[in-house]
Amino acid sequence: MRDPDSEDLSGLIGAGSAVFETGPEAAGARLDLWLTQKLGADFSRSRVQALVRQGAVAVAGAPATDPGRKLKAGETVEVILPAPTPAEPEGEDIPLDILYEDSELIVVNKPPGLVVHPGAGNWTGTLVNALIHHCGDSLSGIGGVKRPGIVHRLDKDTSGVMVVAKTDRAHRALSEAFADHGRSGELERAYVALVWGAPERSSGVIDVPLGRAADRVRRAAVPKDRADARHAVTRYAVLERFGAKPDNRATAALLECRLETGRTHQIRVHMAHIGHPVIGDPDYGQAFRTKANRLPEPLRSMAKDFPRQALHAQLLAFSHPVTGEMMRFEALMPHDMTELVDAFRHSDLHKS
């Protein structure tokens, strides 16, 4: 008999079985809730419910396919733990910049241009394909499938630090941390953004709800009473101003942006909303592209031809999902963004 109260069940994940005896406290309890507590952090309630419906659970020697079945004291509950099925996306040998890795998670510095997850138009060549190839059998299975657990995303053309779960328990804990948006103090995210112009204040808070734009792919700042409005807060600090005039107006600025929420395109939409869109942003900065015409060469060509939003996830700190240790990772801006920032820094913008 195996009891997770006294024995580590990690060796059963992916194969084997577990057998439990119900005590007096189990009388009247739902099978799925009781079993989720017994199996521990490696098994979510939805995964346990799936196992029950698949016929992988027996109570008192008979198959139990109803997750809501009421238990009695003194019953035997047996669970068959199937091996994780292969991931649907295939692994691909794509280079990864790995900042950290252990049996529970992996932290990478995502380059610009790399899509995170397979989808329409990008079924191969993604970060998930790369992780499946790299991690191999060290993926114990997310929801019963050998795949990496994506708990947050970066846009295709945004670079920087990402953490990815390798086990169910890491996926659950990290997902909860990101859903909490760091209010518990166990998550910190900071980006650097090169924007047109510069906010008048050296720091500030943008508290503006986001919703879907007309094309349903982009996002937009919307009134808080709109049905699809989602709370969104970004804190920013001006790190450097470029080409500041005597009236304190700047041609561009390098900002640090910290997220209190994690909405799609949040920083990009918020920066555009306050009149300082991210340079190179093809979705929210098009109206500012003519600003590059006022720049001196070679900066003018560099800014006009910059192929992506100049946005980089520089810092990610979180509590390790198993050990509880606070972990902190930083990644320098990639070469293309560093080169553009340096060009602004060293150009004589007062002559433009």
* Positions marked catalytic: 155
| Cα–Cα distance, 294 to 302 (Å, whole number) | 13
Q: Work out the number of other CB atoms within 10 angstroms of the CB of residue 205.
A: 12
Label the pairing between strands 98-101 and 76-80. unpaired
8 Å CB contact between 313 and 160: yes
Both structure tokens of 133? 């190839």
Core vs surface per residue 163-184: b (16+ CB within 10 A) or e: bbbbbbbbbbbbbebbeebbee
Task: Give residue for tokens 């238990």.
Answer: 71
Both structure tokens of 286? 């098009």
According to DSSP, residue 290 is labeled G
| Cα–Cα distance, 185 to 191 (Å, whole number) | 18
Sign of the C-alpha dihedral, residues 8, 169, 57, 11?
A: negative
Which residue, among 261, 196, 276, has the nearest Cα to 229 in the 3D structure? Answer: 261
| Cα–Cα distance, 266 to 153 (Å, whole number) | 12
8 Å CB contact between 21 and 74: yes
Label the pairing between strands 311-319 and 159-165. parallel
- How crowded is the C-beta side of 146, counted as CA atoms within 13 Å? 22
8 Å CB contact between 211 and 228: yes
8 Å CB contact between 273 and 206: yes
Both structure tokens of 130? 């790369």
